[in-house]
Amino acid sequence: MKDDIIRLTYKLEFNYDEELSPGELKVIQYISEDDRFHSILTIHYNTTVDAFKALGTLAANIHHQHAVDILEPINIHLKNRFKTLGFMIDCSRNAVPNVQTVKEFLLRGSLLGFNLMMLYTEDTYPLPGRSMFGYMRGGFTKAQLQEIDDYGYNLGVEVVPCIQTLGHLAQILQWPKFQNIRDTHDTLLCHHPETYELISEMLNSISECYRTKKIHLGMDEAYGVGEGRYKGVFGNNQRSQMELFLEHLGRVQDLCFNMGFEPMIWSDMLFCLQNNTPNLNNYYDMSMGATALHHPNLQLVYWDYYHINPKSYRFKIEQHHQAGCPNPWIAAGCWNWNRLWSALPFAIKAVRACLEGCIDPSSGVENFLLTSWGDEGNEGELTSCWPEMETDESLPNCYPVSNQLSFYEDKYLQSLFETVFGANLIDFTIASLLDELTYLSSDVLPNDLDQLPIHTLFPPNPSKCLLWEDPLLSFLTPQYHGKRDLNVHYEQVHLALLNATSDPRYSNNSLLTLPTLLAKCLSLKCSLWAHLKGQYSSQDFQGLKNTLLHRIEPLIDYMDQLRKCHRSRWHILYKPFGWEIIECRYGGQITRLRTLRDKYDDDPQFQLNKIEELEIEMEEVYMGSGTNILLDYHRVHTPSANT
């Protein structure tokens, strides 16, 4: 069949069907009596977003049939597992997406059946009369949020605000105008009247920007509640952090109820503040229950990005039931944060385990949220989250999450990804080899998922560590040098991605340019310090010259190409504010490489000066971890503590 060109013309019809329930759709192929059409494809839907999901599913189905060289009658009947399938974009951690970026995610998501979009905005929404709220952060205007809300509404997608009303407010609390309501550097001062005046203004502003009544109040990771200025203002009144948290929560939820909002919060503090030992480990401790809720209309969102065994999710969901929340929301993560490209193999395993953990109706989970975060400067390429959007309710016929077929080998998923995103699924996943230093066969799951580890896991980010560590003080070198040739690994990744970016079949494979350049930079930078030290110690001056010409000079050039590519992507996706943080990181690397070059140029045989940085005897800091490390920029860019 592939030797012949077959052109089939279909007539597409949409039919609203009140007998279908929300989240249910059908696509039926009929023989056409009109000679102009091969057949008629009728989409039966109940809600607007169901029609869009049917369209995406239909296009992928047709593409898949041609890809596997089979042409069969189309008869699709899907019914969503969840009432809500949502995607969250971090619009606060250094990067605020522009309106077009949000619209693109809304549109592509609708083709996969996502019927909710959550925008995480700490201080990046308008607050009239508070000029220092979101000061120089590039936040959304009221008109922009209304435009996004209208666009989502026309697609059948509910756009929901996610704000913060206790912790995670360091961006505003750094300014003198907010000092009166500051407890710690990032936590509001509970019980202070001005705190609740501010929150009332927040809620009023939000109500004018969105049509929804749903609102996420945040309140996660508020470990500092009552531990800072609170004691000086109100005295040491022997009240526990949990008591303060619950009283604050009660006052804020009352404000919401009085305004007609339907509030929800992240649930971690109800676990983490137990026993006056605030720690995120308490959230995932199987023996640690939660404090009971006081109001049945407050929804809890259980977030878990760290487990690949469904048993973990089942147990924690049951604990939410015991806390008085019979229908908790659940949030999985894309793992696009603290790295430049999503950790796809780990994230997909974790999302699949999460789905398996709440698939039983007894879980009470009706609302599933897939989150993308921007911790550590929002360096990551946002579109690298696309593959994770295929691992959930977007799949046809409740695609089994424990399927023995490798996610990356599934032909239908490849067709769906190409149809909805215009890129190649395997190529996007190859980019994850920047951090996944074992190859991709590990994504095939056993029949019994409960065999998998139950403890908390974190995907490593060696590519980020190697990119930002100082080239003259490469203290991470002993983690890998002499154990694995990462130069070869990253050069192989570079060549594979270089071919992928130029594949004319996939227009959005061009998005792989950034990881392609990153892989090249790492192939040149890995073990650079060790090579220099060996040549310096043996006084191999010709070797030093060759390293300068063939590694350091090209590395400076590729690092600048990477910077320019990253800058271009930033300004396509985001508002300009925040890019200065990332550019300073690149500037530091390029300048330090030039310093290394200058040391050689000024004294090629080191007769006048020594390079003391190359006389250090390195030690392995993270013993036994190798490259299985997850570190932030402030840890890796210098071995010195930030003082």
pLDDT digits (tens, 9 = 90+) for 333-388: 999 999 999 999 899 999 989 999 998 889 999 999 999 999 999 999 999 999 99
Tally Cβ neighbours within 10 Å of residue 533: 21
Q: What are phi and psi of 115, to 5 degrees?
A: -110, 10
Distance CA(563)–CA(587), nearest Å, equals: 9
pLDDT digits (tens, 9 = 90+) for 458-479: 999 999 999 999 999 999 999 9
C-alpha separations of 85 from 109, 260, 329, 353, 359 in Å = 10, 23, 10, 16, 13
Q: What are phi and psi of 319, to 5 degrees?
A: -65, -35
**What mean pLDDT comes out for the span 280-309?**
86
Strands 39-45 and 10-16, how do they pair?
parallel
Can you give the three-state secondary structure of 198-220, one letter per residue?
A: HHHHHHHHHHHHCCCCEEECCCC
Structure-block tokens of residue 602: 């000024």
pLDDT-derived band at 151, boundaries 50, 70, 90? very high
Name the β-bridge partners of 162: 120, 216
| Per-residue pLDDT, 496 | 95
Residue type for 609, please? N
Radius of gyration of the chain (CA): 26
| Per-residue pLDDT, 10 | 83
pTM to 2 decimal places: 0.94
Structure-block tokens of residue 225: 């509640």
| Per-residue pLDDT, 262 | 98
Strands 10-16 and 262-266, how do they pair?
unpaired
Res. 403: pLDDT tops 70: no
Tally Cβ neighbours within 10 Å of residue 486: 21
Res. 3: pLDDT tops 80: no
For the stretch 553-589, what's the b/e string if a residue is b when 16 or more beta carbons lie within 10 angstroms of its beta carbon? eebbebbbebbebbeebbeebbbebbbeebeebbeeb
Nearest Cα to Cα of residue 466 among 511, 423, 527, 384: 527
pLDDT digits (tens, 9 = 90+) for 50-78: 999 999 999 999 998 887 777 788 999 99
Q: What is the DSSP letter of 97?
A: B
CA angle, 574 as apex, 572 and 578 as ends, to 5°? Answer: 125
Task: Classify the C-alpha dihedral 373-374-375-380 as positive or negative.
Answer: positive
pLDDT digits (tens, 9 = 90+) for 445-462: 444 545 555 667 899 999
Tally Cβ neighbours within 10 Å of residue 551: 19
| Per-residue pLDDT, 132 | 98
Structure-block tokens of residue 130: 């508070």
Distance CA(382)–CA(511), nearest Å, equals: 10
Q: What is the DSSP letter of 188?
A: B
Q: For the domain made up of 462-481+527-636, give the CATH fold.
A: Four Helix Bundle (Hemerythrin (Met), subunit A) (1.20.120)
Q: Residue 514: which H helix or E strand, with range?
A: helix 513-525
Q: Which CATH class is domain 84-404+444-451?
A: alpha beta
Res. 444: pLDDT tops 80: no
Q: What are phi and psi of 79, to 5 degrees?
A: -140, 125
Structure-block tokens of residue 611: 């390079």
The secondary structure of the chain in percent helix, strand, coil, rounded to multiples of 5, reads 45, 10, 40
Residues in the chain: 643
pLDDT-derived band at 238, boundaries 50, 70, 90? confident
578: left (phi > 0), else alpha (psi -120 to 50), else beta?
left
Distance CA(317)–CA(327), nearest Å, equals: 9
pLDDT digits (tens, 9 = 90+) for 539-574: 998 999 999 999 999 999 999 999 999 999 999 999
**Max CA separation in the chain (angstroms):** 91
Res. 436: pLDDT tops 60: yes
Can you give the three-state secondary structure of 546-608, one letter per residue?
A: HHHHHHHHHHHHHHHHHHHHHHHHHHHHECCCCHHHHHHHHHHHHHHHHHHHHHHHHCCCCCC
Average pLDDT, the chain: 91
Helix (H, G, I), strand (E, B), or coil: what is residue 518? helix
Helix (H, G, I), strand (E, B), or coil: what is residue 88? strand
What residues contact 601, with CB distance under 8 A and at least 6 apart? none
Structure-block tokens of residue 96: 């605020």
Res. 397: pLDDT tops 60: no
pLDDT digits (tens, 9 = 90+) for 504-514: 999 999 999 99
Domain ranges of the chain: 10-79, 84-404+444-451, 462-481+527-636
Distance CA(124)–CA(49), nearest Å, equals: 28
Res. 610: pLDDT tops 90: no
Name the β-bridge partners of 75: 28
pLDDT-derived band at 406, boundaries 50, 70, 90? low
Q: What is the crossing angle of helices 579-602 and 553-573, to 10°?
A: 170
What residues contact 538, with CB distance under 8 A and at least 6 apart? none
Q: What are phi and psi of 630, to 5 degrees?
A: -130, 105
Res. 393: pLDDT tops 60: no
33 vs 51, more confident = 51
Asked if residues 117 and 146 have their Cβ atoms less than 8 Å apart, the reply is no
| Per-residue pLDDT, 608 | 63
Res. 287: pLDDT tops 90: no
Distance CA(375)–CA(201), nearest Å, equals: 27
**In what order do the strands lie in the sheet containing 10-16?**
10-16, 39-45, 24-31, 75-79
**What mean pLDDT comes out for the span 397-409?**
45
